[in-house]
Amino acid sequence: MSLTIALAGNPNCGKTTLFNALTGARHHVGNWPGVTVERRSGSFEQDGLTLEVVDLPGTYSLAARSADERVAAQFLASPEVELVLNVLDASNLERNLYLSTQLLELGKPVAFVLNMVDDAENRGIHIDVAALETLLGGPVIPTVGNREQGIPELKTLLAAMARGESNRCRRITVDYGHDIEGELAKLETEICRDEKLEAAMPPRWLALQLLENSAEAKRRVAESHASEAISAQLAKSFAFLEPHLGADGATLIAERRYGFAHGLVKEVASAADERKTPTARLDALLTHRWLGIPIFLGILALVYSLSFVIGKIPQDWIAEGFKALSDFAGARLPAGELTSLLVDGVIPGVSAVIVFVPVIMILMGCIAFLEDTGYMARAAFIMDRLMHVMGLHGKSFIPLIMGSGCNVPAIQAARTIESPQDRLITILVTPLVSCSARLQVFIVIAGTFFTPFKAALAIIGMHFLGLGLAVLMGRMLRSALFSGPSSPFVMELPPYRLPVLKATLIHMWEKGSVFLTRAGTTIFAGATLIWFLSRYPGIANREWTAQYQDQRQAVQALNLSAGETEDRLKALELAHESRIVNTSLAARLGQKASPLLQPILDPDHKRPEAWKDVIALTAGFVAKEIVVSTMAVIHQASDEPKVGERLSPLQVALRDNSGLSPLTALAFMVFTLIYTPCLGTIAMIRREAGSWGWAGFTIAYGLALGWGLAWITVVAGRALGFA
Amino acid sequence: MTQNLPIPLSDLQPGDQGEVVQVQAQGPIRQRLLEMGFIRGVRLRVEKLAPLGDPMELVIKGYHLSLRRDESACILVHRVA
């Protein structure tokens, strides 16, 4: 026998810690259907029963305005939920009880957890649990979630309730006073005319939402055959209540709920000490007028270096490990299609996926840490003014900055932004921020065509261009996609708390594995497709393969020194690959597509080889750093500089043979910056924005914007007299 | 309580205390503010402004909340001495 328990509570009430304590590591993370709100579920066994626990998103109310609230309200009303467990923050009882007044209306048994009682005691708040039980009409278990105190008692209670052995639940609801209760009863009568409406949720709960003027409730009623009668009664109720009680329904109901909560708290809890809390002392420093920003930037720098400097070490191991594996396989297996699929397709594809995992796990760990301590809200508080000017939210700052390391975890980091509008805009503009992979392309190109000083300027310029465009696009998308005013910034600054290491580790693990399973397949499929396009039909040409083998044997037969032999073999391999790639489907595509890019990469019609850039850029869809290695293959010149030379053979080839001028090289850089996010980013956008549509939109606007700006670069540069 | 005219919450300075008179915002913002405890007669204290001057931090019903000027301007309060 099993039973489903919904875990409901305010944000920052320690709900997730409690969920972890109840279910251990046995849980499943996914999204709620149709929205990118995380759904965590797990189970535990007690007295031979299996109890399913679903952790709802933390909400202050069930008014069903935000996606979080809608998910919570819908799930709580569904027949699947048999028991509601309401987590209350003991040191912030009154506001936490506002949600409870709504949960009590659902007509389901509600049990309460009085969490973090230790914090409350430290602040001098003593709570009479027995009195609270009586007033709430349900069992109350005091807990300290992060130390697992009270968890065994809670499990025992839940099992008893599941077996129907606990009779501690009485139905208690807020008394809204004679006038409102009268109108509620009238509305209920009208609602009960429609049996379907009556069955979907308690009529009184729907009536309350109607009086609160809830758009969601009105939509529900509009679908009913009794909608006319209900709307008429609602209009009558409004006409009666507003002049009579001096305020609109929403205000009156909120007042009564808070009246209930306030009275209850006065009855069961002692007042908090007036002395300064540790949080207040910390905030005196962390959100200080002058020190707040420098401290924030310092923390940001630390997170950045942990993720992208320390994180680069395991990343390099992984990349080198896979490179060694592919070299090993390439050397042992006979040259041919299958070997190429393995060596140039599958292994680099898997590598391209796994290489992200260390960075994702470290950055997500850091962000979870900042979030769990309560600092994330302060970071948003500090940066909001600046970000608001850009049409974004204070919490958008961290993803944008982290984007300059790697866009993939940066987009994942946007999860911390509650408002779906702000989150979507942040996700859509983050790919414009130049990442470390694009930096590698810029270094090669700028190093080829500019003096070291100008090259540095050009590279820094690209980073600022990316950030500037992110801001500009943020503003444009906001006004184009969401016509209304920006979402309200009403953000709690929760008390600072020491996070539980276990929770942070679980979080890191979840983020890493979700990436591997969800984004990994997309990246892998894309990498294989690009392999196919850039290798066929040449790879299947047996004559070429045979020639290549003969040439290798000829070199090996020369009995040269080991170093010399290796150099010659490498040159042969490069020539062979170059022959395949330059006749591949991608090359044909490049030749077809090059007229499209001709105005930016070949404005004077003097570059018969401009199509080679197109192949490199196509390969860049997989990952931006591949642009460089693909160029090396196409131009048949290694991208590793020889000892004592400033330019690599690839750079020399680009300078002497590619026909790019400093101006078109700059246009190439601008285009590379913007034209499309890499596959990892695209997969992450799809996951985090919730549809392929947004991922496609990002590619499309990137291509258009990249083309436009590269074209402006060329036209403006020529007007200013540059070549 | 003083009997002077209500002023927008955004006019209070850090350290000032006020008593909520009315939430003038409309739509979802109004509902959100009501839920967060901006109810007639509730006492609040402005704690500080963010380093860049906006948003503001205030204490209401025993917890800390931050509001942008856009929102705090829609809440009418009586200044409490």
In chain B, the domains with their CATH numbers are 7-80 (2.30.30.90)
Closest residue in chain B to residue A101, using alpha carbons only? B35
Q: How far is B26 from chain A (nearest CA, A)?
A: 11
> Which residue segments constitute the domains of chain A, with CATH numbers given?
2-162 (3.40.50.300), 178-268 (1.10.287.1770)
- Amino acid letter at A371? E
Alpha-carbon distance of B46 to B49, in angstroms, equals: 8
* Interval A524-533: pLDDT, tens: 888 888 888 8
Asked if residues A92 and A120 have their Cβ atoms less than 8 Å apart, the reply is no
B23 contacts in chain A (CB < 8 Å): 251
Alpha-carbon distance of A348 to A352, in angstroms, equals: 6
Burial class (CB in 10 A: 0-12, 13-18, 19+), A425: buried
A251 contacts in chain B (CB < 8 Å): 23, 34, 39-40
Alpha-carbon distance of A246 to A242, in angstroms, equals: 5
Q: Is the pLDDT of residue A79 over 60?
A: yes
* Interval A340-387: pLDDT, tens: 888 888 888 888 788 888 988 999 899 889 988 999 999 999 999 998
Asked if residues A403 and A433 have their Cβ atoms less than 8 Å apart, the reply is yes
What ipTM does the predicted assembly reach? 0.95
Residue B7, strand partner residues: B77
What pLDDT is recorded for position A1?
A: 61
pTM over 0.90: no
> Phi and psi for A494 in degrees, rounded to 5?
-70, 160
User: At a CB cut-off of 8 Å and minimum separation 6, what does A109 contact?
Assistant: A82, A83, A84, A138, A161, A169
* Interval A92-104: pLDDT, tens: 999 999 999 999 9
Q: Is the pLDDT of residue A417 over 90?
A: no
What pLDDT is recorded for position A13?
A: 92
Closest to A13 (Cα-Cα) out of A549, A495, A347? A495
* Interval A296-320: pLDDT, tens: 999 999 998 998 889 889 988 998 9
What pLDDT is recorded for position A162?
A: 87
Please give the share of chain A, as a percent, with pLDDT higher than 90.
Answer: 47
pLDDT band at A619 (very low <50, low <70, confident <90, very high): confident
Q: Residue A188 is encoded by which pair of tokens?
A: 């209920």
Residue B13 in contact with partner chain A when CB distance is under 8 A: no
What pLDDT is recorded for position A487?
A: 67
* CB within 8 Å: A254 and B34: yes
Closest residue in chain B to residue A102, using alpha carbons only? B35
* Interval B1-50: pLDDT, tens: 445 789 999 999 999 999 999 999 887 888 889 999 999 999 999 999 99
> Phi and psi for A43 in degrees, rounded to 5?
-150, 160
Helix (H, G, I), strand (E, B) or coil at A53: strand
* CB within 8 Å: B50 and A384: yes
B52 contacts in chain A (CB < 8 Å): 293, 382, 384-386
Residue B15 in contact with partner chain A when CB distance is under 8 A: no
| Nearest CB to A272; choose among B40, B50, B62 | B62
What pLDDT is recorded for position A614?
A: 87
